[in-house]
Amino acid sequence: MINSLSIVLPVFNEEKRLNKTFFHIEKFLKKTKIKNLEFIFVNDGSVDKSRKLILNFLKKRLKGTTKKKLLDMKKNVGKGAALKAGVKEAGFQWVLTSDIDFSVPLFEIERWQQKNLIIDRKIVYFGSRAHLESKVESKFYRKFIGEFLRIFISLFLGINIRDTQCGFKLYNKLTAKKIFSRLKFFGYEHDIEIVLLLKKEKTRVVELPVTWKHVSDSKVNIIVDSFKTFVKILLIKIKYN
């Protein structure tokens, strides 16, 4: 049972999507049964109005007993680095990392609990679009590239996790802080390094079903970023071989 949860949200030039993010958080707060919540926004060197919008939200709309933080990176260093900074500051029993667009809604945490899927604090739980019970709305070419990447990662690195790249992941605090403190790769490939670090620590990973929907104005360029990830996978292979 999750009684306290820190939610870490990396942000980079998201002014167009933040209002939907804020609305989703407010909706979640009205319905969630989790008693203690902490939202940690990590501004990863945004040059638009993201920081100003987040500050306004934290001061004027996110009220009550909910804890809140805004961390600022001096420059854009990557999603992995932003998450590393946020996890370091997390104070509650459980730590959830999530994409800012909530392509996986926060309510998945409630569904996981209702179905008694969170069974052990020693386990790390990955939201998985490849799970048989997941509901995924995405364009065909994104699914194709995603599946190709999964197969490549599995064969090349010996990783049995079917979906390493979904941003919705749940850790107990001690495991999260240990793993993220050792993170060295800060792009989208950081998810793969996390799996290898967990494997090294002999920490069990369980993939859970999610409802996932592609959200417009994503910063991910499916072609360019996939190519960059392939290159970084080669470097990860050298480091962890």
Q: Please report the DSSP string for 101-136 in residue order.
A: T-SS-THHHHHHHHTT----TTSEEEEETTSTT-EE
Alpha-carbon span 46 to 49, nearest angstrom: 8
- Whether 106 contacts 28, CB under 8 Å: yes
Give me the half-sphere count of Cα atoms (radius 13 Å) on the Cβ side of residue 205: 23
The arithmetic mean of pLDDT across residues 32-55, rounded, is: 96
What confidence category does residue 232 fall into, taking pLDDT thresholds of 50, 70 and 90? confident
The pLDDT score that the predictor gives to residue 228 is 78
Closest by Cα among 219, 78, 222, 207 to 138: 222
CA pair distance 104, 126, nearest whole angstrom: 12
pLDDT, residue 205, reads 98
The three-state secondary structure class of 180 is helix
Burial label for 25, CB within 10 Å (0-12, 13-18, 19+), is: buried
79 exposure class (CB count in 10 Å sphere: 0-12, 13-18, 19+): buried
Distance between CA atoms of residues 95 and 128, nearest Å: 17
Collapsed DSSP state (helix, strand, coil) of residue 97: strand
Computed over every residue of the chain, the mean pLDDT equals: 91
Cβ 180 vs Cβ 110: under 8 Å = no
Q: What is the pLDDT of residue 107?
A: 97
**Residue 125 · residue 208 · CB < 8 Å:** yes
Extract the tokens encoding 228.
């960059």
Higher pLDDT, 62 or 181: 181
- Residues 37 and 4: their CA atoms lie apart, in Å, by 6
CA distances from 165 to 35, 79, 116, 146 (A): 29, 12, 24, 9
**In this predicted structure, what is the pLDDT of residue 218?**
61
More confident residue, 141 or 164: 164
Band of pLDDT at residue 222, cut at 50, 70 and 90: low
pLDDT exceeds cutoff 60 at 217: no
The reported pTM is: 0.91
**Which is it for the CA torsion 218, 219, 220, 222, positive or negative?**
positive
Angle at 39 between CA 217 and CA 193, to 5 degrees: 70
Q: Is the pLDDT of residue 146 over 80?
A: no
